[in-house]
Structure 1
Amino acid sequence: MNQDYIKPNSWSIIEEGFDASRVKSSESIFSIGNGAMGQRANFEEHYSGPTFQGSYIAGVYYPDKTKVGWWKNGYPEYFAKVLNAPNWIGINVSVNGEQLDLFTCRKVENFKRELNMQEGWLSRQFTATLQNNIQIEVKTKRFLSLDLEELGAIEYQIKPINNDAHIQFQPYLDSGITNEDSNWDDKFWDTLKVSHENNWAFIETKTMKTGFYVSTFMESKVYLNNKGLFINPNINSEANYISFDYSHQVKKGDTYSIQKFGGYVADRNYDKTELVSVSKQILDNAITLGFDGLLHKQKEAWSNIWERADINITGDVKAQQGIRFNIFQLNQTYLGKDSRLNIGPKGFTGEKYGGSTYWDTEAYCIPFYMATKDEKVARNLLEYRYNHLEKAIENAEKLGFKNGAALYPMVTMNGEECHNEWEITFEEIHRNGAIAFAIFNYHRYTGDYSYIPEKGLEVLIGIARFWQQRASFSKDKNKYVILGVTGPNEYENNVNNNWYTNYIAQWCINYTIENIGKVATEFASDYQRIINKVSLSTNEMKQWKTVADNMFFPYSKKHNVYLQQDGFLDKELISVSNLDTSQRPINQKWSWDRILRSPYIKQADVLQGFYFFEDQFSTKELERHFDFYEPLTVHESSLSPCVHSIQAAKLNRMDQAYQFYLRTSRLDLDDYNHEVHEGLHITSMAGTWMSIVEGFGGMRLKDNKLSFTPKIPEQWEAYSFKINFRNHILKVDIGHKQTHFEILSGSELEILVNNKPILLKTKQLQAV
């Protein structure tokens, strides 16, 4: 049974009614971020019920000692993970000496929480009756500034309803925090100094081992009925904590409020000796603008994001809410300003997966960022991997590979592998293919080839070397095979000849050879520099080619399909439809032994390959493979429904495509996999965008032109989206009878619509 408490709304995520059993889930769903930091939607005031406290700084991490039952050669020593940072949002509240705590109140009524996606803020309101029978009305609003990215702002208002009351606000900073997912309960932060000046407070900290220096800061001011009060606060300063006490006697019906500014300054961007002085400058800027001024700028900044990125759906509020939630969270996580950063599967919403970079970025996120932002943002994501090439080579060396072979990590913060499950770390090597595919996809979409001679070709050569060495020659098959792997479908591990892995390995080698030839012909100086640097010979390339030309692909003549892996037909192929719903999700109900022996697929392997390399297969082949594999797929990977939605739309199975779309777009809102309390599925949200633009919109690149085959679910009246394509902003508006195209900026552009050429002229609506 999926959760169903989020109210349908086009622009907001809304929860009504307080339920302690939902708090952890809501803390994930209502998370906020600005690309430089983010936080779960924890209450500002004290809460004694079950909660998952989390506030995170982009790029600040800790190498937690790997925890495994026994060591294996090649294991990473550490699992790098994003850190729960010092808490700056806290405001303890007491009324007539009793602490406000929603978990222990006599009654909580009129509770409403709203995440306004259009304007980028989080609010809460409720009426609470405390144990001392004082009844209060509370309203809060908070946001993380897009303009001043180290800054967050909170407004917290209390109105006594049934009596006069003595109200105490106690804003605080706390560096005595821990990670939810710590392996050994290590101390991650070392508090160096706690200080204050007027209404400002600072905690200076350093991460253990990695040595990131951070200043956590706050400033507060209190108001009565919106008029500033000058209260000299009592100050409580301890080793890891500092609080200010603003107390006031408040008449029944009056509103006592506090505005708190806070945030982080890290030595990733400033000299470590200047962190407190920079914090003061930020607070000066915040005070000058004020809460309302900062909020106004926040609305403007989000308006600019939505102007380019919005997808508008008419006639289906849940579908509309789903896609906007996905687009909103992607932008909260990564804005493309810093090439040192990347996109973790949980973003700033939780600690699972360590907050690190996976292959999800290259396979799912880059298309979204290419089309909704400047192409430099996508190029930054490619450069992230180039900057880690030496580490990828080191990672491969640890596993016995030589001569500059590169194996990119499954999970990373700084280029080092930090995943420690052997069937993933050593065997889910298909991630190398996604890195190469992203280079191809970037050039294909943007037309910018310069990245390849400048940086990308070195990456491709390292990857090709890995594939050539990883393949083995089978005398029995008279083919090259790749043994002992895990494909994207992690419900089959340590298998031989995973079709997707073998196919992308072959493609990578051929694509690398093709680009070596192109660079040699057209960029002679770059070619010479690269060849000298990597010591590449013609003979080595012939070895690559031999492997690629003789790669083995498991195939069933009986079913006329490529097989997931050599032993797939040894399984009893029982459809998911025959699974009792009480057994779902199987990853929470079954042992791994049972899962691995079952035919059930976590996410598509073969169909993922058909998605990447669509042009190399016919629609009939796709249909055959879709019909064989989809009934066996449990979609317990967040990355699965979006690919199936795109392919169902291509097959004109619109009801099925629509259902997959709802599942990917509302995966977290409706908690399909019963795990949203751990955080959101950020990277799969880019797949949701693809399921509309590439699935229903049918957007592809054909013959170096944008191509569309527009379709629309019957549940929708119309939908529209915008695309940034090679310095053209193109708006596409799709209805049941017509599709309209308009170039909003840029020169005229020829596109294909249902395989027919259409010439679009600037700011001239074209109906098809």
Structure 2
Amino acid sequence: MHELIEKGTPWTLKEVGTDPEVIKQNETLFSLSNGHIGTRGSLEETHLTPEFSHSKSTLMNGFFDTEPITYGEWAYGYATHHQTTIPIPDGKKMEMKYDGEVFDLTSSDAKDHNRTLDLKKGILTRSYSWKTENGHELEVSIERFVSYDYPEIMAQRFILTPKDDNNSLEVSFELDDLKSMGKERDKEDDPDPRKKEQASRRFESDDLEFYDADMLHIKTHASGLHAVVGNRVVTDNDVHQQISDKNRDSLSFYSKANQTIVIDRFVAYSELYKEESLTENIIDNLIRTLKNVTESGYEKVKAEHISTMESFWEHSDIQIDGEPALQLGLRFNLFHLHQAAGRDGKTNMSAKGLTGEGYEGHYFWDTEMYMFPFFLYTQPEIARSLLMYRYSILPQAKERARTMAIANGALFAWRTINGEEASPYYPAGTAQIHINADIAHAIYSYGEVTGDDAFMLNEGLEMLVETARFWLEWGHFDDNRGGAFVINDVTGPDEYTAIVNNNYYTNLMAKKNLAYAIEWIEKRRRQLPDEDFNVSQDELTEWKKAEEHMYLPYDEDKQLTMQDDSFFHKKVWDFEQTPKENYPLLLNYHPLTIYKHQVCKQADTVLAQFLFLDDFSKEQKKRDFDYYEKVTTHDSSLSRSVFGMMASQIGEEKKAYDYFMDTALMDISDLQSNTKDGVHAANMGGTWMSMVQGFAGLRVDKGTLHFSPQCPSEWERIVFKVRFQKRLIQVSMTPSSTDYQLVEGDQLTIIENGEKKTL
């Protein structure tokens, strides 16, 4: 059992002691965020050394800077600029002096030091007892949370109890340390392309004067983004002296034995804006929020936050009876998923959420294919916001298509924040054009599950149309294949196989993308005959022809689905002679060495089949699973959950369980050895999918909800809830039976293993 997991505590992660390696590792796990702002679980001390901290970052969703990408050899259409989410002023810093001595975890005498993350309440607490060199003792307790009710607010409470009289106690709070920003992170000589270290701060800051709160204006160096940060420090205790000096607030007290001092701090981060859109309203709104939370008081704001968290868990929790450690791990994943999602229609979910700077804070296909289902079935309003972000960057997607010589349609960026392509390595970036179909699949799924025709007939359909148009121009009808529609020079989900013809996943997803667009155009024509996004009948006919004649490679002799035209013609990677330390392969072998072999980084063809289970026989799925499992390294955190879910479908119960256990505890156990850079948010989404779409077998077919439950024998019971077409359904599974309860909404007919059931 992992050291953070205590027996009988399925809601809390607890860290005990002052081991710097443990504290450093838990910075990611103890991160708090709300989709707008996030702060890593670092300690409060302003002068903390790298020994205790990998990165103290506080991040804002969508706040990034740019710099030109330097190429040794440039070619037309390459991405031009890096986009990198950058740390912003860290509102959790604090310095404490007692009896003239500065508290320093490295050298001070701290006892009973522990931290606890309460997943149910969304609150991180820390406590310890400190004895100064002169023998004076101070008990310290600190709470921290990031509010969902006030998305701009990060709140802290400091509870200090002196054990002696008449000693000076000074507590200072820093908002922006101009000297240390950009220098306080743990530097490593690490060539890992999955992260990009920032050697210096990437924003400028200045005070906003004449406001009734400490206000700081920040602006990036190059991207043109601005924000305002505000700060309020309050206490009901007698203050000997309070000094506010720009970004630093200091409060001085005289101690009284066993008389507790309580200090509350609220730090507010505004919405992002461009310079030309700066108005007094942005500052006024932030000041108003600070005033509201200050007047309401810490306890009320905290109570509202806890109530909001309780509501989330009421609808989103998954209960497992039989394995307490797994129960906690699963809740940890759901907690971080919930924290990561942008909710304003202008931001999305990065691969690391707001827990770290890995992958530069970029948004990938991870959102639609791994994280989106959780929100779709538990919080559909957030799912809609995530799709609205894609709609907001549709103009950039159209421009990218023009760059790629596509006259009509749109190509969404593989990795991006502002909608422009930011991947400098196009074989594993731009070539993954399947992202268009991934987004289309999420849109179509949203329509099926929610019944939100208002979105589907407008923003949703416009994206379906523009992505469908892209496929018709990128692919072509090949006379040498009997007139089949082929799609060449692409990279599928498996990034160890790049620039190939007819990647099965891409072609199947493009086929579905075309079908989705056709279906919804015809629906719109029936409802709004005069408005159809200028889709002519000739264009619709071409879509239907391409969809019907899509080439899907298959080896008749082997009776296997081909990952692409060339995959079976390559030599299988020598796994037996590859030492364990050479994984992941991408850090130890040239890309061409990998590309010329049969070796997969992650699920590809298996993912295609899982998404459309009814399109394949069980025997075919079993043959393909067995084959591709042997050549897959799972070097990507996105892989294991897919293999686990498919294992459930083909009756490989032991494999399904083992794969799930790897996904459920991936970050807590640091399975990928890079949790310090941020959580693996897609894997967390895959964990939810494994429970609901894997073990419970949930899927939607022609507007009907289907289940094929298979509860692992290791568990006594699984209970979860899903939303479907304005209904809330509770599912209770045991190894021998499954019960369905309609909690909210009208009567509904579902199908379990082919049998109709009415709720």
Change (3 A) 1:261 1:377: closer
Q: Are 1:302 and 2:316 matched, yes or no?
A: no
Matched residue type, 2:703: N
Choose the corresponding residue for 2:271, options 266, 269, 283. 266
Q: Are 1:498 and 2:507 matched, yes or no?
A: no
Per the alignment, residue 189 of structure 2 pairs with none
CA contact (8 A) 2:582 2:588 kept: yes
State which drifts further: 124-133 or 440-449. Answer: 124-133
Change (3 A) 1:594 1:48: same
Q: How many Å apart are 1:576 and its aligned residue?
A: 5.5
Secondary structure of residue in 2 paired with 1:719: strand
Q: How many Å apart are 1:678 and its aligned residue?
A: 0.5
CA contact (8 A) 2:164 2:255 kept: no
State which drifts further: 588-597 or 680-689. Answer: 588-597
Per the alignment, residue 412 of structure 1 pairs with 416
Change (3 A) 1:229 1:507: same
Secondary structure of residue in 1 paired with 2:635: coil
Change (3 A) 1:274 1:521: closer
C-alpha deviations, 1:617-669, integer Å up to 9, x for none? Answer: 11111111111111222222222122122111112222211121122221111
Change (3 A) 1:184 1:217: closer
CA distance in 1, matches of 2:75, 2:199: 23
Secondary structure of residue in 2 paired with 1:228: coil
Per the alignment, residue 30 of structure 1 pairs with 30
CA distance in 1, matches of 2:515, 2:283: 53
C-alpha deviations, 1:419-469, integer Å up to 9, x for none? Answer: 222213331111111011112212222233443332333322222222122
Secondary structure of residue in 2 paired with 1:658: helix
Choose the corresponding residue for 2:370, options 364, 373, 386. 364
C-alpha deviations, 1:471-504, integer Å up to 9, x for none? Answer: 2555654544333221111112222322211222
CA contact (8 A) 2:342 2:348 kept: no
Per the alignment, residue 657 of structure 1 pairs with 656
CA distance in 2, matches of 1:575, 1:443: 45
CA distance in 2, matches of 1:638, 1:758: 37
Per the alignment, residue 358 of structure 2 pairs with 352
Choose the corresponding residue for 2:234, options 206, 209, 221. 221
Change (3 A) 1:281 1:511: closer
Secondary structure of residue in 2 paired with 1:203: strand
C-alpha deviations, 1:206-235, integer Å up to 9, x for none? Answer: 33344333221222234xxxx612333133
CA distance in 1, matches of 2:696, 2:290: 46
Matched residue type, 2:49: S
CA contact (8 A) 1:607 1:626 kept: yes
Give the fraction of aligned pairs with identical amino acids, expressed as a percent: 29
Secondary structure of residue in 2 paired with 1:84: coil
Secondary structure of residue in 2 paired with 1:48: coil
State which drifts further: 550-559 or 655-664. Answer: 550-559
C-alpha deviations, 1:738-764, integer Å up to 9, x for none? Answer: 32221111122211222211121xxxx
Structure 1 alignment gaps of length 5 or more: 761-768
Per the alignment, residue 208 of structure 1 pairs with 221
Matched residue type, 1:192: D
Report how many aligned residue pairs link the two structures.
Answer: 740
Matched residue type, 1:395: R
CA contact (8 A) 2:723 2:729 kept: yes
CA contact (8 A) 1:134 1:163 kept: no
CA contact (8 A) 1:105 1:131 kept: no
CA distance in 2, matches of 1:137, 1:196: 37
Per the alignment, residue 466 of structure 2 pairs with 462
CA contact (8 A) 2:14 2:115 kept: yes
Per the alignment, residue 332 of structure 1 pairs with 339
Choose the corresponding residue for 1:79, options 77, 82, 92. 82
Q: Are 1:140 and 2:145 matched, yes or no?
A: no
CA distance in 2, matches of 1:185, 1:584: 27
Change (3 A) 1:257 1:221: same
CA contact (8 A) 1:213 1:272 kept: no
Q: Are 1:601 and 2:597 matched, yes or no?
A: no
CA contact (8 A) 1:217 1:263 kept: yes
CA contact (8 A) 2:485 2:550 kept: yes
Q: How many Å apart are 1:676 and its aligned residue?
A: 0.5
CA contact (8 A) 1:635 1:641 kept: yes
Matched residue type, 2:243: N
Per the alignment, residue 128 of structure 2 pairs with 126
CA distance in 2, matches of 1:272, 1:525: 40
What TM-score results when the alignment is normalised by the length of structure 1? 0.90
CA distance in 2, matches of 1:95, 1:681: 40
Per the alignment, residue 291 of structure 2 pairs with 284
Secondary structure of residue in 1 paired with 2:651: coil
Per the alignment, residue 766 of structure 1 pairs with none
C-alpha deviations, 1:570-610, integer Å up to 9, x for none? Answer: 43435867754333333444443443344332211101110
C-alpha deviations, 1:329-360, integer Å up to 9, x for none? Answer: 12212264x22221111111112223232212
CA distance in 2, matches of 1:599, 1:131: 64
CA distance in 2, matches of 1:111, 1:413: 39
Change (3 A) 1:382 1:92: same
Matched residue type, 2:341: Y
CA contact (8 A) 1:109 1:127 kept: yes
Matched residue type, 1:101: D
Per the alignment, residue 719 of structure 1 pairs with 718
Change (3 A) 1:164 1:713: farther
Secondary structure of residue in 2 paired with 1:390: helix
Structure 2 alignment gaps of length 5 or more: 186-194
C-alpha deviations, 1:179-199, integer Å up to 9, x for none? Answer: 97777857632223255878x
Choose the corresponding residue for 1:112, options 88, 111, 114. 114
CA distance in 2, matches of 1:658, 1:131: 54
Matched residue type, 1:493: A
CA contact (8 A) 2:127 2:141 kept: yes
CA distance in 2, matches of 1:588, 1:471: 33
Matched residue type, 2:410: A
Q: How many Å apart are 1:512 and its aligned residue?
A: 2.6
Per the alignment, residue 765 of structure 1 pairs with none
CA contact (8 A) 1:105 1:128 kept: no
Q: How many Å apart are 1:559 and its aligned residue?
A: 2.7
CA distance in 2, matches of 1:651, 1:131: 66
What does residue range 230-269 of structure 1 map to in structure 2 within 5 Å?
Answer: 230-237=239-246, 242-250=247-255, 255-266=260-271, 268=273
RMSD: 2.8
CA distance in 1, matches of 2:78, 2:305: 44
State which drifts further: 259-268 or 342-351. Answer: 259-268
State which drifts further: 173-182 or 605-614. Answer: 173-182
Change (3 A) 1:465 1:276: closer
What does residue range 292-691 of structure 1 map to in structure 2 within 5 Å?
Answer: 292-334=299-341, 336=343, 338-373=344-379, 375-402=380-407, 404-472=408-476, 476-478=480-482, 479-527=484-532, 530-531=533-534, 536-573=535-572, 580-691=579-690
Change (3 A) 1:121 1:184: closer
